[in-house]
Amino acid sequence: MPKQLNLYEKLSPRLTSSPVIEKYKNDFTRKRKLPFHVLIVFLINLVKGSYQDELDKFFKTILRFDVAKRVLSKAALAKARMKLKFEAFVELNLQLITYFEKHFRPKLWFGLRLLAIDGSTTKLPMTDDVVRHFGVWNVRQGAPSPMARVSQLFDVLNKITVDALIKPKRIGERDLAAQHLLNVMPNDLILLDRGYPAWWLFNLILSMQANFCARVSCTKWKIVRKFFRSGLSEKVVTVPVHSTSIAQCRQMGLDTTPLKLRLIRIENDGKVAVLITSLVDTEKYPIELFGDLYHKRWPVEEDYKIIKCRIELDNFSGQSALSVYQDFHAKVFAKNLVWMMAFHVQDRIDDEIVHTKHRYQINFTQALSKSKGVIALLFLDANRLIKRLIVDLQYIFQRTVEPIRPGRKYPRNHKAKPRRYFPQYKPIG
């Protein structure tokens, strides 16, 4: 528990310290009704409802009112948000990840940090400012809508979002993946799905002294097609630069020397998948590891379920392009924050619940729900109160667990009508 307390002692000053204020405050002053640090804490408090309702509940919590009072108007909040740069949340998340890597002993795979890059899309509010910035796209169901592409670099063993991006949909997944690589360290292993393989992207990852393992289409490249038809279980190959990657490599200053890579055949339920990886040492990384390795990327898919369905990503609280960026990065930061409080609780659960049919895990939906409101107090209360709050939260995390049932599958229902959120019809609570 002391590690969590130290984390808040480290982050809290960064909300009020001169370097951060000078970098992001713009027109903020300490005399405002909604100063910089209070606005930051309000937005990371998992905002879902209407401006005024969320504001009244927020101040009721932090000021210990018995009944909600009108401390600040929604107009004042909207005005204050216009002056807040979303990069403040990005920097806070970077501080969070740095602290986690240093103090929490993160889980590794054969000494490698296991990261997955994956993307998705989300609908945005239909307002003039959002349309100008993000553009309008046809959707599977309903009228055309503004759309954004989201992408994250996700630590699949520790369930932490290392880096997250939200951009106009016209920017491709591979381009966002290249931006994520600024946060990659030597000896990281990056897992990629079928949409990502490109010679220039593989070369870029290797230039960072990192490694990768990607699923590749059996018909994508000639060398892959030949391997697929051969029936071999694995083969180390030399892959020359593809003509479509030459210009990209030159633009990035990358060498175009052929890459030594390894192709691996994975068979499951009669279906064949081909993996391509830079882990060419067959003794250190035998073929038996790779079926399980690729499926370790699944937590990033589950994390999108949390972001979209539990935290309600597309339930944006504002109507400007800036508010879209603010909400996205604030929710990613809040999600990481809650999981870090739950991290050691999960370890205790693993140690205590051993003689049962199933392993158990924290119900993270409940963890997020119980943390709303408390997040504000963690940053604004005295240290002695923060310690009690963390202990109380971790106790309820440990009491709210669900069994892990391996092998369960729930096919997607593509005919299901997606839920939409409208600023004029915000939910109560």
Mean pLDDT score of the chain, rounded to an integer? Answer: 87
Q: Which of 290, 405, 285 is nearest to 357 (CA)?
A: 405
How would residue 422 be classed by pLDDT, with cut points 50, 70 and 90? low
What angle, 0 to 180 degrees and rounded to 10, lies between the N-to-C axes of helices 364-371 and 383-399? 150
Band the pLDDT of 327: cuts 50, 70, 90: very high
- In this prediction, residue 4 carries a pLDDT of 64
Helix-helix angle 199-207:243-252, to 10 degrees: 30
Distance CA(429)–CA(427), nearest Å, equals 6
Q: Is the pLDDT of residue 423 over 80?
A: no
Q: Is the pTM of this model over 0.85?
A: yes
User: Is residue 165 over pLDDT 90?
Assistant: yes
* Stronger pLDDT, 415 or 90, i.e. the higher one: 90
Q: What is the pLDDT of residue 18?
A: 44
Q: Is 110 left (phi over 0), alpha (psi -120 to 50) or beta?
A: left
Greater confidence, 151 or 18? 151
Least confident of 165-174, 220-229, 349-358: 349-358
| Residues 202, 223: Cα–Cα separation, whole Å | 15
Read off the pLDDT of residues 230-279 as tens digits, 9 standing for 90 and up. Answer: 999 999 999 999 999 999 999 999 999 999 999 999 988 778 999 999 99
